Structure 1
Amino acid sequence: MIMALETDATERWRLDVSYRGTDFAGWAAQPGHRTVQGELELWLPRVLRVDHALGLVVAGRTDAGVHARGQVCHLDCAPGVITDDGASLLRRLARVLPSDVVVRAVRRAPAGFDARFSALQRGYAYRLSDAGVPVDPLHRDQVAIWPRELDLEAMNTAARSLLGLRDFAAFCKRRDGATTIRTLIELSGDRIDHGPLAGVIEFRVVADAFCHSMVRSLIGGLVRVGEGAREIDWVSTVARRGVRDSGIQVMPAAGLTLEQVSYPADDQLAARAVESRRLRTV
Structure 2
Amino acid sequence: MPRYALQVEYHGQPFAGWQRQADQPSVQGAIEAALAKLQPGAHTIAAAGRTDAGVHALAQVAHCDLDKDWDPFRLSEALNFQLKPAPVAITACAQVEEDWHARFSALERRYLFRLLMRRAPATHQAGLVWQVKNDLDVAAMQVGADRLLGNHDFTTFRSSICQAASPQKTLDELRVEYVDTLSGPEIHFHVRARSFLHNQVRSFVGTLERVGAGAWTPDDVTTALEARDRAACGPVCPPQGLYLAGVTYPTDVFAQS
TM-score normalised to structure 1 length = 0.83
Whole-angstrom distance in 2 between the partners of 1:219 and 1:262: 23
- 1:35 is matched by which residue type in structure 2? S
Whole-angstrom distance in 2 between the partners of 1:247 and 1:239: 8
Correspondence list, 1:226-245, <5 A = 226-245=212-231
Alpha-carbon distance change, 18 to 177 in structure 1, aligned in 2, over 3 angstroms: closer
Once the two structures are overlaid, the 10-residue window that deviates more, 96-105 or 253-262, is: 96-105
- Matched residue SS, 1:70: strand
**Larger strand fraction of residues:** 2
- Matched residue SS, 1:192: strand
Whole-angstrom distance in 2 between the partners of 1:196 and 1:136: 12
CA positional deviation for 1:240 = 1.4
* One of 201, 207, 211 as aligned partner of 1:225: 211
- Matched residue SS, 2:100: coil
Residue 70 (str. 1) matches residue 53 (str. 2): no
- Matched residue SS, 1:203: strand
Residue 182 (str. 1) matches residue 169 (str. 2): yes
- 1:55 is matched by which residue type in structure 2? T
Alpha-carbon distance change, 68 to 176 in structure 1, aligned in 2, over 3 angstroms: closer
Q: What residue is the counterpart of 2:42 in the other structure? A: 53
Alpha-carbon distance change, 217 to 119 in structure 1, aligned in 2, over 3 angstroms: same
Whole-angstrom distance in 1 between the partners of 2:184 and 2:244: 20
CA contact (8 A) 1:136 1:196 kept: no
- Matched residue SS, 2:127: helix
Q: Stretches of 4+ moved more than 4 A in 1?
A: none
TM-score normalised to structure 2 length = 0.91
Q: What residue is the counterpart of 2:117 in the other structure? A: 130
Q: What residue is the counterpart of 2:140 in the other structure? A: 154
Alpha-carbon distance change, 162 to 144 in structure 1, aligned in 2, over 3 angstroms: same
Once the two structures are overlaid, the 10-residue window that deviates more, 172-181 or 247-256, is: 172-181
Once the two structures are overlaid, the 10-residue window that deviates more, 234-243 or 58-67, is: 234-243
Alpha-carbon distance change, 41 to 177 in structure 1, aligned in 2, over 3 angstroms: same
Q: What residue is the counterpart of 1:38 in the other structure? A: 29
CA positional deviation for 1:112 = 3.6
Residue 25 (str. 1) matches residue 16 (str. 2): yes
Whole-angstrom distance in 2 between the partners of 1:241 and 1:158: 15
CA contact (8 A) 1:171 1:218 kept: yes
After superposition, what is the alpha-carbon deviation per residue over 1:201-250, rounded to whole angstroms, capped at 9, x for unaligned?
A: 11111111111111000001111111111121111211112110255211
* One of 101, 104, 129 as aligned partner of 1:114: 101
**Larger helix fraction of residues:** 1
Residue 191 (str. 1) matches residue 178 (str. 2): yes
Residue 202 (str. 1) matches residue 191 (str. 2): no
- 1:106 is matched by which residue type in structure 2? C
Aligned-residue CA RMSD in angstroms? 2.0
Gaps of 5+ in 1: 1-9, 267-282
CA positional deviation for 1:70 = 0.4
CA positional deviation for 1:111 = 5.4
Alpha-carbon distance change, 177 to 26 in structure 1, aligned in 2, over 3 angstroms: closer
CA contact (8 A) 2:156 2:233 kept: no
Whole-angstrom distance in 2 between the partners of 1:53 and 1:68: 25
After superposition, what is the alpha-carbon deviation per residue over 1:120-168, rounded to whole angstroms, capped at 9, x for unaligned?
A: 1111111112344x57632222110123331111110010011011121
- Matched residue SS, 1:200: strand
CA positional deviation for 1:255 = 0.6
Gaps of 5+ in 2: 253-257
Once the two structures are overlaid, the 10-residue window that deviates more, 138-147 or 160-169, is: 138-147
* One of 71, 80, 89 as aligned partner of 2:75: 89
CA positional deviation for 1:77 = 2.9
CA positional deviation for 1:176 = 4.4
After superposition, what is the alpha-carbon deviation per residue over 1:53-91, rounded to whole angstroms, capped at 9, x for unaligned?
A: 11111001000000001000011233x2x42x2232212
Alpha-carbon distance change, 177 to 104 in structure 1, aligned in 2, over 3 angstroms: closer
CA positional deviation for 1:198 = 4.6
After superposition, what is the alpha-carbon deviation per residue over 1:226-281, rounded to whole angstroms, capped at 9, x for unaligned?
A: 11111211112111121102552110111111111111138xxxxxxxxxxxxxxx
- 2:173 is matched by which residue type in structure 1? E
Task: Give the number of aligned pairs.
Answer: 251
